[in-house]
Amino acid sequence: MTEVVRTVLANVVVSGRVQGVGFRFFAVGVAEQLGITGWVRNLNDGRVEVVAYGVRGMLEVMIARLRQGPSAATVSDVDVAWCAEHVQEDNPLNFKILR
């Protein structure tokens, strides 16, 4: 029997010194390495938001890397909200920076 691979969504909000340190570019690089799609953007309050679509295991790896961040960042908190039954049609084709 063939296993069905389900795409899930993780909405991640990262707090700390995460703006002006290359965090969004770091997130794009991690996502591309792991085959994750979605987007990343700066929030007005100084945090960074990541919306990522992919296989849960790969998303967990990405979140672990976001907790570390690039060398110039200082991550103080990472909040994650999961949507386990995300509709495949909403899945973007790549991972990008929203401005």
The catalytic residues are 24, 42
Phi/psi region, residue 37 (left: phi>0; alpha: psi -120 to 50; beta: rest), is beta
CB count, 10 Å around CB of 82?
A: 14
Interacting residues of 49 by C-beta distance below 8 A, sequence separation 6+: 11, 12, 13, 14, 40, 41, 43
